């Protein structure tokens, strides 16, 4: 059985049953988790962009675990300079790895890298394993690309930002659900700071009364079987 664990913000760990894959492991300094980043094990890390609340502990975790970081070409180049094992891809690209397959999706957001004078294009990830499809769009606004992604994929779980201010908020995330048509939605990128405080239970009510999707509000530290 596969499971998805939430560390708060946009940080997740997916245990496929055979591999552990982290997405945007912002652990140190994340007010929603007290997990010790040194206790986290993984085989691969999917990194959507270089902002501090996403790249987070990617470099130390990847070095310690010998994990492969999959990200955009520009950010992969920066990771090369940090002696981190990586695989560069770009938006629209699909590739199979031992831990599953990924496709990079467009994200409309900033491309700065925390602490480095490099700008990269941000992305989202479709992650495919054992007949399952998980979508993590990274930080983005509502975009019509979701329509196409929904049409071309049978999404089991979509993690969607609802925090507003830096990304789409709950109203736009509801429209994203209409376009993506996932079976399950997990809200993310909210309540980390006052600036992105949101009522996830209200989001759940709104989505479940207006779409066929189920919303699972996973508390930080909580897991979901997928």
For Mn ion, the binding residues (CB under 5 A) are: 53, 139
Nearer to Mn ion (CB atom), residue 57 or residue 139? 139
Distance CA 77, CA 71 (A): 10
Nearer to Mn ion (CB atom), residue 9 or residue 20? 9
Interface with Ni ion in residues 141-180 (CB under 5 A) = none
Residue 43 within binding range of Ni ion, rule CB under 5 A: no
Residues in contact with Ni ion, shown as a per-residue x/- string from 47 to 76 under the rule CB under 5 A: ----x-------------------------
- Residue 213: CB minimum distance to Ni ion, A: 25
Stretch that binds Ni ion, among 44-52, 70-78, 182-190, 194-202 (CB under 5 A): 44-52
Residue nearest to Ni ion (CB): 51
- Residue 184: CB minimum distance to Mn ion, A: 22
The count of residues interacting with Ni ion (CB under 5 A) is 2
Residue 139 within binding range of Ni ion, rule CB under 5 A: yes
- Residue 53: CB minimum distance to Ni ion, A: 6
Nearer to Mn ion (CB atom), residue 53 or residue 57? 53
Distance CA 215, CA 225 (A): 13
- Residue 189: CB minimum distance to Ni ion, A: 9
- The token pair at 79 is 């990771």
By CB neighbour count within 10 A (0-12 exposed, 13-18 middle, 19+ buried), where does 131 fall? exposed
Residues 6+ apart with CB under 8 A from 26: 7, 9, 10, 11, 52, 53, 54, 55, 56, 57
- Residue 195: CB minimum distance to Ni ion, A: 13
Q: Extract the runs of DSSP E, i.e. beta strands, from the chain.
A: 3-6, 12-15, 20-23, 44-46, 68-72, 86-89, 94-97, 100-106, 112-113, 116-119, 123-129, 132-136, 157-161, 184-188, 214-215, 223-225
Residues that bind Ni ion (CB under 5 A): 51, 139
């Amino acid at each position: 059985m596969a499971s998805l664990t939430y560390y708060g913000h946009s940080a997740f760990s997916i245990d496929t049953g055979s591999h552990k894959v982290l997405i945007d492991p912002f652990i140190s300094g994340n007010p929603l988790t007290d997990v010790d980043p040194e206790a986290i094990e993984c085989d691969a890390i999917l990194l959507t962009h270089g902002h501090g609340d996403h790249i987070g502990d990617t470099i130390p975790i990847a070095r310690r675990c010998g994990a492969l970081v999959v990200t955009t070409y520009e950010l992969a180049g920066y990771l090369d300079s940090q002696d981190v094992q990586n695989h560069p891809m770009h938006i629209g690209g699909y590739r199979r790895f031992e831990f599953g397959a990924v496709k990079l999706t467009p994200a409309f957001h900033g491309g700065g890298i925390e602490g480095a004078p490099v700008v990269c294009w941000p992305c989202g990830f479709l992650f495919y394993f054992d007949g399952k499809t998980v979508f993590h769009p990274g930080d983005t606004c509502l975009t019509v690309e979701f329509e196409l992604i929904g049409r071309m994929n049978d999404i089991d779980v979509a993690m969607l930002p609802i925090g507003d201010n830096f990304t789409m908020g709950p109203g736009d995330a509801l429209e994203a659900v209409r376009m993506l048509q996932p079976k399950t939605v997990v809200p993310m990128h909210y309540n980390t700071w006052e600036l992105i405080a949101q009522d996830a239970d209200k989001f759940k009510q709104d989505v479940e009364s207006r779409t066929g999707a189920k919303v699972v509000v996973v508390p930080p530290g909580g897991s979901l079987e997928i």
